[in-house]
Chains A and B, each alone.
Chain A
Amino acid sequence: MPFIPHTEQEITQMLATIGVDSMEDLFDEIPAHLRAPELKAIPKGMTEMEVSRLMHQRADKNTKALCFLGAGAYQHHIPAAVWEITTRGEFYSAYTPYQAEASQGTLQLTYEFQSMIAALTAMDVSNASMYDGASSLAEAILMSVRANRKSKSRKILIPTSVNPVYRKTAETIVKGQQIDLVEVPYDGSTGTVTLEQIKQQGEGDITAVVLQQPNFFGCLEAVDEITNWAHDNNILVIAVVNPLLITVLNPPGQWGVSGVDIACGDGQPLGAPMSAGGPYYGLLCCKQALVRQMPGRIVGRTVDLDGKEGFVLTLQAREQHIRRSKATSNICTNQGLVVTASTIHMAIMGAKGLENTAAACFANNNLLVEKLTAISGVKKAFSGTHFHETVLQLDVNAAQVLRALMAKGILGGFDLSEDYPELGTAIMVCTTEMRSEADIEAYATAMQEVLAAGVVSAEKVPATPEVV
């Protein structure tokens, strides 16, 4: 029987010890008329050989196109050692480290993770992870409402240059708690939010302001100026950052005079494959003074009975298993295994490796944008510096261009028309260190051909029949 070791003889012995005649007797407290029918809609079981064949067939149906798509998930190189070690059974099949003495591996690693993330963000403390960047922003907002005792309004300013999916997720998660998410429009020429616009929406009592750097469009916000203004007005600042890019960009702990209060973001660029959307992890950091408002697990260093260094889950009085309805959040299971991968990733890459990676993303994006905007009918939508994503304005229907590019093996970018109709026909392209000069050349050539040919709908890829 798959994954069940019992022999007939053992079953008989065990039933005798229990004092029942059959397996069925073990379920005699369940009302008979409620018993489940046969689960016909579930196929019959398979051997590993058969399952393997099925999964290879399905995996092979997914595209192998060259990826120039970002918008919150990025294709980066991950050292082979990262997932080799991460998937060791001792990490992979352990539970949350509630029995500290039997979980020193995971606990120490998490402490190292918190230290590395705090170093990257230049913040005082980090927790052991949230689900992803978007839900982490939601928790950061809830945290700011608890933390900012000077503010009564529960009003949060969010520029529309913050990732739209993050804004939607935050809305879902905080709406039960009478929190007002106030949108601040971005400037149409720079793609960034100005202090003037923030001030306009920021009349009266404001609890916190959210700033994403680089913002969703890949543009760089004036973070120092806005952070200082917010702090002068008793407004907390929540930063949303890409943890890879802050190895070269000013980290949130150093924005303005005193740094942001809470920093969050998605850890995916640090060791998590794109994997159709996850698992990634949300990072969440804050100033020391706010640590008791932090949701999620936190690991602390302490000593054992002999005075030897060791690690435990700490400040658990914030959490649901102790505080129940008064907890800072309902989060229990987090993204531990991805945190494991990310820690190993950061250790192997080092600051230097990550900086070189970030710089390569920037340089490659510049090269791509230069080549694409040399084509007639393609121009940059915003002035100013972009990091590794850039919004390009097209003359023709963006969705059709992307489809035609796809037919040429190019995953050409993100169609902005749904989230930002005011931009007309715009796409956002992204380039990581993985894209070679030849890849970039291939994109430019494909774009040229597509635009020259006039846009045609790409044919549907025929479905390959599944044989098992």
Chain B
Amino acid sequence: MLIFEHSSKGRQGAPQSPVEKASISAIPENLLRKDSAALPEVSELQAVRHYTRLSQKNFSIDTEFYPLGSCTMKYNPRACNTLAMLPGFLNAHPLTPDEQNQGFLSCMYDLQSMLCEATGMAAFSLAPMAGAQGEFSGVAMIDAYHKSRGEHERKEILIPDAAHGTNPATAVMCGFKVREIPTLDNGDVDIDALKQCVGPQTAGLMLTNPSTLGVFERNIEAIAKVIHDAGGLLYYDGANLNAILGKIRPGDMGFDVIHSNLHKTFSTPHGGGGPGSGAVGVAKRLIPFLPLPTVTQEDGNYRYLTAKDCPQSIGRLSAFMGNPGVLLRAFIYMRFLGREGMVRVAEFATLNANYMMAEAKRRGFTLAIDHRRASHEFIITLKNEARDYHVSAMDFAKRLLDLGYHAPTTYFPLLVPECLLIEPTESEAKEALDGFMDALEQILHEAETNPELLHAAPQTLPVKRLDEVRAAKQLDLTYKMS
């Protein structure tokens, strides 16, 4: 039932607004609204009960194992939420003079510094609102850099075919042409093909390392050399930073610009879709182009840097500075972990993934890339099962939901047919991993003996499989209250 269907005309049960409506008759009549907006009229209790019940229809990290590859669904420590919501932070107006905003600004300055150290970059901007906006700033900086050197012909961005969809979408948004680079069967970039593609038109390469195939790009130095020799710059999509935190740094691998999804590696909550942060870090030569604002410090006083300080900046990406509430949560998380905790993140995320990969193989699954180390995630391909039993990765995913596990990422990366991209993260205990592998094994057996069970899944959730074709054809995007 929708909240609108709980509505009764004239009901108002919340002491939340001024009781009387002040006069607005000084506003010219033609500029006023003629009738009230058709919002639900419910009591506070009805609203509380409705949304509490809705929440119970979600899977979440707090309630289920959620091994969604590429998304790093690790525990979101409760204290990060509580402490980011202290009144001193919540009541801070974004345009508060810097002198009165020192508590917040000091956290942001420290966060920038810690991100620099963790990634080996020279400077960071916290302005991008999510990974995709981090990518946007990175590619826009690459563009600005080339233009500042008079190299206007660099209009092409190279992107491996394994890349996330945001990479090509971003390059196009920034006005570039995209050229795809093939990937070898062992998961590494096809470096011979790459060499064929570079030239004076090359602005840069966007690379995820470890890649979305769940393996470390072993030829990263050679790749960096090919790109740099051609005059291009190297962009690091930091979605998989969790795998290498404290072990190897993008800056040391030769990347010129990176984004980090703080809502992945640094544990800020995904919130059912966002908000996130795509903090962007750069090597020295790109510092002048960083998006605004950033935070600086002089003699213990913190202040925002703006366009006056940074005339070459690519500019602003939003009205203020990124998502401060998210940034605070990441800062708190980093202070919890400390330098020693960062290294442990990579170690245990990698341990969990390699353990599950070994177990998957032992239990008869086909790995997309065999005989290599997994990073913090790995891929099972169900192409044989699809051929032999007519079950798909989607069927496996839906059946997992019935067994109380959130499904891994399916059908991404696009290169691997019928794939499950599995990322356990470091915060899951061995029992959870074993339980999940037992469930997968059970489903494999069911696929052989009773594939109908998979096709009909899920059976235990609030709804069965939903008609997506109908959703797109008979568009119903808003409820109209009569």
Contact = CB atoms under 8 A, between A and B. Distances in A.
B270 A101 contact: no
A334 B274 contact: yes
Interface string A138-156: 0000000000000000000
A104 B326 CA distance: 25
A103 B271 CA distance: 12
Interface stretch (A26-34, A227-235, A443-451): A26-34
Given A275-B89, A278-B322, A344-B51, A6 B348 contact: yes
Contact of B173 (A38, A171, A308, A330): A330
Interface stretch (B40-48, B192-200, B280-288, B446-454): B40-48
B62 A92 contact: yes
Interface residues of A, number: 202
Contacts of A131: 129-130, 133, 275, 317-318, 323
B340 interface: yes
A88 B430 CA distance: 26
A376 B16 CA distance: 37
A88 B332 contact: no
A397 interface: no
A152 B424 CA distance: 50
Given A330-B135, A330-B166, A108 B2 contact: yes
Contacts of B16: 77, 79, 348-349, 353
Contact of A55 (B2, B17, B86, B307): B86
A42 B316 contact: no
Contacts of A254: 33-34
B151 to A, nearest CB: 16
A465 B372 CA distance: 51
A316 to B, nearest CB: 8
Contact of A1 (B344, B372, B468): B344
A312 to B, nearest CB: 5
Interface in A416-435: 433
A61 B351 contact: no
B319 A3 contact: no
Contacts, number: 689
A69 B96 contact: yes
A167 B310 CA distance: 18
Given A128-B273, A248-B32, A278 B320 contact: yes
A94 B58 contact: yes
A89 interface: yes
Contacts of A28: 373
Contact of B58 (A13, A64, A91, A166): A91
Contacts of A248: 24, 27, 32-33
A88 B479 contact: no
A92 B269 contact: yes
B269 A36 contact: no
B90 A169 contact: no
A81 B47 contact: yes
A300 B475 contact: yes
Contact of B221 (A13, A31, A55, A250): A31
A39 B102 CA distance: 26
B160 interface: no
B295 to A, nearest CB: 11
B476 to A, nearest CB: 4
A30 B245 CA distance: 13
Given A89-B60, A90-B63, A277-B320, A61 B248 contact: no
Contacts of A67: 91, 93
B105 to A, nearest CB: 9
A276 B347 contact: no
B104 to A, nearest CB: 5
A3 B427 contact: yes
A242 to B, nearest CB: 13
Given A333-B276, A463-B102, A29 B215 contact: yes
Interface in B430-466: 430, 456, 458, 461-466
Contacts of A45: 335-341
A79 B44 contact: yes
17 contacts: A3-B426, A27-B346, A36-B120, A36-B246, A42-B114, A43-B335, A51-B83, A72-B95, A116-B37, A276-B320, A278-B324, A332-B166, A333-B261, A340-B272, A347-B47, A349-B14, A406-B97
Given A312-B471, A331-B130, 11 more contacts: A17-B358, A26-B373, A59-B89, A63-B92, A101-B401, A101-B463, A125-B477, A302-B467, A312-B468, A348-B44, A406-B97
7 tightest Cβ-Cβ pairs between the two chains A and B? A337-B271, A89-B62, A336-B273, A45-B338, A277-B320, A59-B88, A277-B94
